[in-house]
Structure 1
Amino acid sequence: MSESCDLNGVYQFHGDTFEVTPTVKADFDKYGYIIIRNLLDVEEVDKVIKEFEDPSTAELLNNNKVKVSDCQGREAKMTIWGHPGNDVSGMISRSEKVAGTCEQLLGDEVYHYHGKLVTKEPFTGGAHLWHQDYGYWYINEILEPNMMTVFIALDKCEKRNGCLQIIESSHKCGRLDHKLEGQLTVTDPTRLDKIMDRFSMKYCLLNPGDALFFHCNLLHCSGQNSSAYRRWALLTVYNTVSNQSCKPHHHPQYIRLEKVPNTAIKSCDKFTDFTDKRILVPKTFDSKQVIPKTPA
């Protein structure tokens, strides 16, 4: 397996829109991801950080955090919500440059499956093992892997603070079996070794505002945060309308996503209104559904 930071499918956000050209779509289909640099500009990043650092919001998030141990004395933390809401982070998840881009990449109308703030704090942030997101969502009886995640860096993501690692084109291998190792879920190691022999592993080095759009079957992991710098990221998961779960579970069924223009992010002044987001309380999770999710 080769290791590199030389990513494919990297694009730059310019102006007010992002066009999913045939080349962009071909890169997503081939590699299982694209990266859009500066999807959020400095003002937009500052706004969402202001929201999550607001004392009242921070208290709410802290009271509902899922802590995931990596069995090496460290842990990653996340707060998960079911609906985008009308706050700043909700405007990002509902924006054309995020949700609209996902619709073009998946070729279908999408809805908000869930969102989360994932944090790796300095010196204590834990690792996540190699996995596919669809390894979890398959258990929720979602029949097709027509789903994707948008990972938006709120802090600089580097090797030393646990940036994402991906295996290019691994989404073409289909859904792999997963098993629990402590609180983490990891894919079948025998199959993983063979995949890593064939495909390239890449480090996703991101600056604040950069976004990774990736397919739900793309293998990914992340290391521990051994640095003095935190690693915060906003993640939004989308499912396609035709791919609803066959059973009710802790994530929402289809609710039409009311997309907003990209300008709605900067015009939004709601930093503490989580009323409509439906935060998932950890104690309500069903352990049979392999929860908590370990996204990155």
Structure 2
Amino acid sequence: MDERRLSSAQISEFHEIGYTIVPGFFSKAETDKLYGAALEDEIMRKHALDLNDQSGKKTKLSLWYTPGDDIYGQMIRSERMVNSAACLLNSEAPVCHFHTKLMQKEPRVGGAWEWHQDYGYWYKNQFMFPDQMLSVMIALTAANKENGCLQVIKGSHKMGRVNHGFAGEQVGADMVMVDNALKTMELVYCELQPGDALFFHSNLLHRSEANLSDRPRWSIISVYVSQSNPAYNEETGSRRTPVAIVPDEALLETQGGASTGRDFLRKEEDKALEDTGWESGS
């Protein structure tokens, strides 16, 4: 099987346990090109958001909505990414792109991500169907226990959405339910090599530790949504527009560097960080 396509076993695994890992989803040459571009991208650095965890350590990310023609867009719009998402989303509607994040967890200073479900954030955007949303994490550097790799609770997507409140400047899940989930289901450390892909359901409980190692942990996370999934508190347009798919070869063939036209999220515009009043009851 082409390692850039999901097998029937991987599709079944995603639905059963809430995630699946695809080793070597992007080649070394592709991953090196993406990481090199990200390291040199001053525009990305300028638009990075700092989000404090509960200890005050900062997690840095840059988030944008519309996939363009630059190197990131070639990754987001690649046939392997979009077709894989289509296999996993619970819909026959076209696949759209909600947003992509460049996660920059620097050595010894990169903060933690508290336990949460992505749909705990996107519920505030008023997306209706969590089964029609998923995330794809592409590791740009090695991710392991030492540098704060993603931890997931296997099968926790079957719990449905749990209540979320604020944990530092992040949205965190109700820890009573998290503790119950940890008593019931397996905790898994998702260790990845550069180029590996982790596909995970919007209701999968996950977190990551601070990076206390001397090595960075960088990744790109793209979120795909079915066009049939309305969001009643989200103005951005890319989530309604079917992805314009490009061939897998486009990433290596493109000569474009960083784009100046990306529509970055600003912290004050993040719906998930708005206090609606019900968070204190989590």
Asked whether the two chains share a fold, i.e. TM above 0.5, the reply is yes
Map of 1:216 onto structure 2: 202
- Residues 1:265 and 2:248 aligned together: no
Cα RMSD of the aligned pairs, angstroms, is 1.7
Map of 1:123 onto structure 2: 108
Map of 2:241 onto structure 1: 255
SS at match of 1:257: coil
Matched letter for residue 115 of structure 1: T
CA distance in 2: counterparts of 1:246 and 1:225, whole angstroms: 36
SS at match of 2:228: helix
Q: Is the 8 A contact 2:153 2:182 kept in 1?
A: yes
Q: CA deviation at 1:212?
A: 0.2
Q: CA deviation at 1:142?
A: 0.6
Q: Is the 8 A contact 2:145 2:189 kept in 1?
A: yes
Matches within 5 A, 1:90-239: 90-106=73-89, 107-108=91-92, 109-145=94-130, 146-239=132-225
- Residues 1:281 and 2:266 aligned together: yes
- Residues 1:81 and 2:83 aligned together: no
Q: Is the 8 A contact 1:130 1:187 kept in 2?
A: yes
Q: 1:285 to 1:24 in 2, by over 3 A?
A: closer
Map of 2:280 onto structure 1: none
Deviations 1:241-268 (A, max 9, x none): 1002123335744012101111111111
- Higher deviation after alignment, 71-80 or 222-231: 71-80
CA distance in 2: counterparts of 1:248 and 1:49, whole angstroms: 30
CA distance in 2: counterparts of 1:257 and 1:224, whole angstroms: 34
Q: Is the 8 A contact 2:96 2:238 kept in 1?
A: no
- Higher deviation after alignment, 257-266 or 148-157: 257-266
Matched letter for residue 33 of structure 1: Y
CA distance in 2: counterparts of 1:253 and 1:113, whole angstroms: 5
Q: 1:280 to 1:251 in 2, by over 3 A?
A: farther
Matched residue pairs, number?
A: 272
- Residues 1:18 and 2:5 aligned together: yes
Unaligned runs of 5+ in 1: 1-11, 291-296
CA distance in 2: counterparts of 1:268 and 1:227, whole angstroms: 34
CA distance in 1: counterparts of 2:6 and 2:48, whole angstroms: 36
Q: 1:251 to 1:190 in 2, by over 3 A?
A: farther
Deviations 1:68-101 (A, max 9, x none): 1113242110000011111111111111111110
Matched letter for residue 223 of structure 2: V
Q: Percent identity?
A: 34
